[in-house]
Chains A and B, each alone.
Chain A
Amino acid sequence: NAGVTQTPKFRVLKTGQSMTLLCAQDMNHEYMYWYRQDPGMGLRLIHYSVGEGTTAKGEVPDGYNVSRLKKQNFLLGLESAAPSQTSVYFCASSYLGQKNTEAFFGQGTRLTVV
């Protein structure tokens, strides 16, 4: 059972470079999320999607873009990477997005911007 799969798992970027993180889920979930995890700050929501073709901003959206062209995939883009974007990125999905619904997480992508 794959669940939520993130690629790549590790990446080092130079300042100003661009990249795309891919998240794929095979559970037919409607809702998908991108979080970043920084030491001492827990997880913070970057962007989310409530269904195919829809996206919305979360708590810390600046410097990131997202797309949800297919229900199973949620892409996170960095157009011009900055050292402040060094973090661990987690994708998550949930079935109905109701407040008592469990979110399923990928294994994370560790990104370093130098």
Chain B
Amino acid sequence: GDSVTQMEGPVTLSEEAFLTINCTYTATGYPSLFWYVQYPGEGLQLLLKATKADDKGSNKGFEATYRKETTSFHLEKGSVQVSDSAVYFCALSIIQGAQKLVFGQGTRLTINP
């Protein structure tokens, strides 16, 4: 079945460090891929997305590239800030009757000053 696997957390980094959160997926067909972010006490909000192979999504300094050959959508940021501390979810989206979002387990990121 369709699934998303994220690197296990929690991840703790110092401010200005480089961030990578790995995400791989299994899907029938051609999904769209998303990264959602959940700040403490809030719901999920879209961080970035990519809808076809080789697309790069970017927002707030974060980037992820849709790699069909490796079925991956790794999240990267060159220099993290304390305000980036949150839980990050990788998700794929397909159509099965309606839009179906399949989420990874989430990666908790903590940035220390």
Contact = CB atoms under 8 A, between A and B. Distances in A.
Interface of A: 4, 31, 33, 40-45, 48, 50, 56, 90, 92, 94, 97-108
Query: Which of under 10, 10 to 19, 20 to 34, or 35 or more describes the interface residues of B?
Result: 20 to 34
B43 A45 contact: no
Given A31-B98, A102-B49, A42 B103 contact: yes
Nearest to A58: B100
Nearest to B100: A45
B95 A56 contact: no
A48 B96 CA distance: 12
Nearest to B101: A103
A100 B30 CA distance: 11
Contact of A50 (B44, B46, B93, B98): B98
A101 B93 CA distance: 9
A98 B98 CA distance: 7
Given A4-B43, A99-B51, A99-B93, 15 more contacts: A31-B99, A42-B4, A42-B105, A42-B106, A43-B103, A50-B98, A56-B97, A97-B98, A101-B99, A102-B34, A102-B46, A105-B43, A105-B45, A108-B42, A108-B43
Contacts of B31: 99
Contacts of B41: 107
Contacts, number: 64
Please give me the 8 A-B residue pairs with the lowest Cβ-Cβ distance, nearest first.
A105-B43, A42-B103, A97-B99, A100-B51, A105-B44, A100-B32, A43-B103, A99-B93
Interface in B21-49: 31-32, 34, 36, 41-46, 49
B14 to A, nearest CB: 26
A44 B103 CA distance: 8
Residue with the greatest number of chain A CB neighbours at <10 A, chosen from B41, B44, B97 = B44
Contacts of B45: 104-105
B98 A48 contact: yes
B89 interface: yes
